[in-house]
Structures are given as structure tokens and as C-alpha cells.
A and B are shown apart, each in its own frame.
Chain A
Amino acid sequence: NAGVMQNPRHLVRRRGQEARLRCSPMKGHSHVYWYRQLPEEGLKFMVYLQKENIIDESGMPKERFSAEFPKEGPSILRIQQVVRGDSAAYFCASSPPNAGADGNTIYFGEGSWLTVV
């Protein structure tokens, strides 16, 4: 998973604050995915983006969460007014087009651990 860069690796926020998590995909990858792993659970899909486009946000909570992948710069997952239940590991992944269909695979970053106190 070298090449998918996430920062910060660890973030502590008080309830009500905002959290911003960044993800730079692997070189040559135009697709970004965000996943969340709650304690003792598997990874859950949140959102899939291409440059300047949200393709699938079916896993995103309806409120307080947003994601973007601008033309320039990293993808950002933004959580407004954080609550304790947002404490989790957030993983970004990237892929070239047609991941899964023709043998390309999805590579993950090392994650950002959000703790809400």
C-alpha cells in the first residue's frame, strides 16, 4: 500500500469540533475511496470519488460528513461537529479506472485514527 498517503495519522478532537482528513492517491490513480472501521468491526464503505466528482456516497452519514476530491490537491473527508461515535479509523484507498473489472486492485493508505473526547 505504499503510495497512498493519509494525514494526519492521529487526530484528537473535542466534541463539536471539525475533523479534516486528507488523502493523496497513488501516482496514476484517479479514483479515491473512503472507508471507516469502527472498533471491533470490519471496514465499511463511505464514499467513492473521482476528480471533482462524487460517484457514490451511499455509505456516508446524511449529516455532518462530506468529501471532496478537487482538481488539484488531496481528497478531503470532513466531519463537522464531531461526536464520540465518530471515533474510528478512517482509511483511504485509490485505484486506477475499472478496478476489479480487469485485474486492477485497490490500494489502501495507512489510515487516520480519529479520537473524539
Chain B
Amino acid sequence: DQQVKQNSPSLSVQEGRISILNCDYTNSMFDYFLWYKKYPAEGPTFLISISSIKDKNEDGRFTVFLNKSAKHLSLHIVPSQPGDSAVYFCAAVGSSNTGKLIFGQGTTLQVKP
């Protein structure tokens, strides 16, 4: 039972353009969402998060949007840079206050120079 889904395994964009990574979830009880970036042979690195009481959170080039009615969130990277090429995971907090994360399968982003 995949509660957090990233349906696009890969995405390729041109440097300078916008990258949009999508994530869907099924459990309406999730109240906190996070995005992580991962390079091969390294651990995930926290990027940005959003609480379910908000619909947008922005940090530099990264913006996360949350649509609770659609159970959908997205990560926008503008402008995309070659160094952004990595695997991006969205994750939901499984139950409040525990920090247990439910991860999506990941989307591999390639930013072409």
C-alpha cells in the first residue's frame, strides 16, 4: 500500500528553466510534508518542508505547494541548475510528533546545461 506516490520516475529540464516535481498521497491524516534531495551513495538531504495548514512555502529557488483537497504537493525549482541533478523524494510524516516518514519512490531530475 503506497501511501505516498511519485508517479514520474524521471524528469529532464534545461538549465534555467523550471523543474516541477509532483507527489500524491492517500492519507488525509498526514500533517507535515518534506522534500529531500539525494545524490548516489549519499544520504538524503533535507530541502524544504510544509505544514498541512499552509498551501505554499518558499526558500530561495525552491517552492513547495500543497493542495490538500487533491492530496497533492509539488516542488518547484526555479531556475534549475545542473547541480540540482539528483533524486528527489517527497515524504509525509506518518503520525504527528514521531518523525516517522513515509517516502515516495523518488524522481530522478536531470538538468541539462
Give the B-binding residues of A (Cβ under 8 A): 1, 4, 6, 31, 33, 35, 41-45, 48, 55-56, 91, 93, 95, 97-101, 103-111, 113
Contact = CB atoms under 8 A, between A and B. Distances in A.
A104 B45 CA distance: 14
B6 to A, nearest CB: 8
Contacts of A107: 46
Interface string B43-78: 111100101000000000000000000000000000
16 contacts: A1-B45, A35-B101, A42-B104, A43-B101, A43-B103, A48-B98, A56-B100, A99-B99, A100-B98, A101-B97, A105-B49, A108-B36, A108-B44, A109-B43, A110-B42, A111-B42
Interface in B84-109: 89, 91, 93-94, 96-106
Contacts, number: 83
Contact of A44 (B34, B45, B103): B103
B43 A48 contact: no
B: interface residue count bin = 20 to 34
Contacts of B46: 1, 105-108
A6 B44 CA distance: 13
Contacts of A103: 49, 51
B101 A42 contact: no
Given A41-B105, A42-B104, A43-B89, A111 B43 contact: yes
Contacts of A56: 98, 100
B99 A48 contact: yes
